Amino acid sequence: MKTLAISFLAAIAASSVWAIPGTLHPESGSPVRGDIKWKSASKVYVVSAKKGNTMVDSEFKASEVASLSIEKPNGLDKAIEMVENGQGVQATAILTKIVSEYKMLVWDKPAARYLVQAYLAANNAQKAYEVAQGVLADDKTGAYLGEFAPSYWQVLLKLGKNQQLESCLKKAATSGDRASSAEALNMRGDMIRAEGGDTPDTYTKALTDAYLRVALMYLDEPCREARFNALQKAAQCFDKLGQATRAEDMRARAKSM
């Protein structure tokens, strides 16, 4: 069965109610498999595992834990597929259930990321923002690093929270993480389009200042997703400019990745 790796810092604010089958990987020593709980009062993980006929609890301080691996929630893959296929509204209930049951809003966890995207697809940016704030309460770097950040930026753009968005993009650009820097450029293009309106100058500026820069300058593997997104967005701009051949070239490049 596939597993989902998550950062140990991500569950710090979670209640002690949940217990999820998985494996705890300590900073030193062998991995421990069992039912994992987080005790917020004492800030320790408890792994309950059967030894013989007895259930034994092992406690680990958060600082002693390198990572957790938990079994992928039922329905997660299907819900992600629905969001990616433009069925975000239908996916909202499934993703909400997964996040609620696991009680771990994790900024790099697909369930949280796609729940935000699903709410955006349902034109409920405020709810997407509330979900995002719960995620970022566990790890503030999720606002400018990692896979969750671009979804969060879309929420800020939708709500007109430009000052917060600018702060996130500046941090992403100076973080030293090339993938985040590339996605920040993509968001710059999105901002240009949102602010400039439906004009040739707007689409040309979005291309030259953002999307084409990502497509041509960020060729390393960590930037693959950002480059794919840039090519798709560039194709949209060329469509608006009436340059169908160039638009099709962008899409062909994206498809070949």
Convert the pLDDT of each residue in 147-206 to its tens digit: 889 999 999 999 999 999 999 999 999 998 999 999 999 999 999 999 999 999 999 999
Return the bridge partners of 44, or none: 39, 61
Structure tokens at 199: 């004009």
Burial environment of residue 104 by CB neighbours within 10 A (0 to 12, 13 to 18, 19 or more): buried
Give the pLDDT mean for 75-81: 83
Q: What's the pLDDT score for residue 101?
A: 63
**pTM to 2 decimal places:** 0.71
Q: What's the pLDDT score for residue 107?
A: 32
Q: Angle at CA 83, nearest 5°, toward 82 and 85?
A: 65
231 versus 95: the higher-pLDDT residue is 231
Distance between CA atoms of residues 149 and 172, nearest Å: 9
Q: What's the pLDDT score for residue 68?
A: 75
Contacts of 242 (CB under 8 A, 6+ apart): none
- Give percent above pLDDT 90 in the chain: 48
> In angstroms, how far is CA 52 from the centroid of its own chain?
40
Q: What's the pLDDT score for residue 200?
A: 97
Contact 235, 254 (CB under 8 A): yes
Distance between CA atoms of residues 132 and 115, nearest Å: 9
Choose from 19-33, 88-102, 143-157 the range with maximum mean pLDDT: 143-157
Distance between CA atoms of residues 33 and 194, nearest Å: 48
Q: What is the mean pLDDT of the chain?
A: 84
Structure tokens at 230: 């840039």
